[in-house]
């Protein structure tokens, strides 16, 4: 009996709790509906408050027509300096990485052996010259004697032959002297071009062999001007060749893709074949590099400016949205309604997009897209909303009082009445 009474008591308590919860839910729902009706006005029909969006006008301005690629900086001249005579490296007249001028002395090899050879060849030449003078004098003395027939013709011919032989000997001696002088000059190694030196391969005191193998003593690369080699797809070659001789065409070099160009040059080389493996064509430009802003071997961004489109329609990059059917933008029409417009992007330059179709100059394009934005929605521009807010602030006298505030007050009255 006691168990039955306790069971009935538990059932009664549970029913009372369930009834209270149901009554509380009904009251909260009614209050929420009235509050939404007071605030939104059209909330019962599913509408919402007018969205405020940021938008800019598409502008028309000159924009370059360009091709972008990645290139490699090359020295216009590069020379591997090697010894032309063997010997002990005595002096290094520069430091690694120095800029040198053509004709500047770089290395000196021990010249004593070559100087001795030069002196020996010079002495032999002087000896041969003296013998030649004596032979010529002998020929001159015998010539009148031959006319008087005091000597035979054979004796005179021997004197003439001896003089001519000594003339040839003197010429050979002069060549030997010149060769010895060249060998002596080779002991002083000079820079063949102007440029910047690289890493030294041999230090002073080492025996260096004559050229013909092994590593070079140093490599000199010219850094001003330099060449920049880059490849473009074969389909773009026709455009490049069409504008190649136009004065507006130029090639800009940018270490940073979004930064300013550090060098500008002209096209100097177009390869005579398309690379079959990649379908690209190699091109080169020569640019001045007095401040050495770019370095041989460096990868750089290359921008080929073919021409300048004077009235290009431009919008910010953030205004263009990707879509399944291609890029599109949100426009605000004359009735402040949102319209979705498919566009065709011609090219991008920095943070700006050049639009070929879909937008005209003066159109309002939305740059910040709210999540709740839908085609056909009514919106207000942020600058217009900000201006009306200032006016309301001046008229109301108190900060924050505007057209939206009475709705909150009105919504509070039914809640208090309940």
pLDDT tens-digit profile of 218-230?
999 999 999 999 9
Q: What is the CATH number of domain 67-76+223-310?
A: 2.40.30.170
pLDDT at 370: 83
292: which 2 tokens?
Answer: 């050495």
pLDDT at 4: 55
pLDDT at 197: 94
pLDDT at 393: 42
Neighbour order of strands in the sheet with 195-197: 78-81, 218-221, 195-197, 99-100
Residues of the chain with CATH 2.40.420.20: 51-63+311-384
pLDDT at 409: 39
pLDDT at 199: 92
115-177: which CATH architecture?
Orthogonal Bundle (1.10)
pLDDT at 13: 61
pLDDT at 215: 81
pLDDT at 184: 93
pLDDT at 247: 80
Pick among 2.40.420.20, 3.30.1330.60, 2.40.100.10, 3.10.180.10: CATH of 51-63+311-384: 2.40.420.20
pLDDT at 179: 93
407: which 2 tokens?
Answer: 């709705």
Residues of the chain with CATH 1.10.287.470: 115-177
Residues of the chain where predicted confidence (pLDDT) is lower than 70: 1-49, 212-213, 384-418
Q: pTM for the complete prediction?
A: 0.62
Tell me how far apart the alpha carbons of residues 35 and 411 are, in angstroms, rounded to a whole number: 5
The CATH class given to the 83-110+187-221 domain equals: mainly beta
154: which 2 tokens?
Answer: 């054979």
């Amino acid at each position: 009996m006691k168990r039955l009474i306790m069971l009935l008591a538990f059932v009664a308590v549970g029913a009372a709790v369930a009834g209270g919860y149901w009554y509380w839910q009904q009251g909260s729902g009614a209050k929420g509906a009235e509050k939404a009706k007071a605030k939104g006005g059209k909330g019962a029909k599913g509408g919402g408050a007018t969205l405020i969006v940021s938008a800019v006008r598409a502008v028309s301005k000159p924009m370059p027509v360009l091709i972008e690629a990645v290139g490699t900086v090359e020295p216009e001249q590069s020379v591997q300096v090697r010894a032309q005579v063997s010997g002990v490296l005595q002096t290094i007249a520069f430091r690694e990485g120095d800029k040198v001028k053509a004709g500047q002395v770089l290395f000196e090899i021990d010249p004593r052996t070559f100087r001795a050879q030069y002196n020996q060849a010079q002495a032999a030449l002087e000896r041969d010259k003296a013998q030649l003078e004596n032979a010529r004098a002998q020929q001159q003395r015998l010539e009148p004697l031959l006319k008087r027939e005091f000597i035979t013709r054979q004796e005179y011919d021997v004197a003439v032959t001896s003089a001519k032989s000594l003339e040839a000997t003197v010429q050979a001696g002069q060549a030997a002297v010149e060769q010895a002088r060249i060998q002596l000059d080779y002991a002083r190694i000079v820079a063949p071009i102007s440029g910047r030196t690289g890493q030294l391969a041999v230090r002073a005191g080492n025996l260096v062999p004559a050229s013909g193998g092994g590593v070079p003593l140093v490599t000199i690369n010219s850094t001003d001007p330099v060449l920049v080699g880059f490849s473009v797809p074969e389909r773009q070659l026709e455009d490049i060749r069409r504008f190649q001789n136009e004065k507006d065409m130029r090639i800009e070099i940018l270490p940073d893709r979004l930064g300013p160009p550090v060098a500008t040059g002209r096209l100097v080389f177009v390869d005579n074949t398309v690379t079959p493996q990649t379908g690209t064509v190699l091109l080169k430009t020569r640019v001045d590099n007095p401040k050495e802003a770019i370095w041989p071997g460096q990868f750089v961004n290359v921008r080929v400016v073919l021409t300048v489109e004077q009235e290009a329609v431009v919008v910010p990059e953030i205004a263009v949205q990707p879509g399944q059917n291609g890029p599109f933008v949100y426009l605000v029409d004359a009735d402040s309604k949102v319209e979705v417009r498919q566009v065709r992007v011609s090219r991008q330059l920095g943070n700006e997009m050049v639009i070929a179709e879909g937008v005209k100059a003066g159109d309002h394009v939305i740059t910040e897209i709210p999540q709740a934005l839908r085609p056909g929605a009514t919106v207000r521009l942020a600058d217009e909303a900000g201006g009306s807010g200032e006016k309301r602030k001046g008229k109301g006298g108190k900060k924050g009082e505007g057209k939206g505030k009475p709705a909150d007050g009105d919504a509070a009255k039914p809640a208090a009445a309940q």
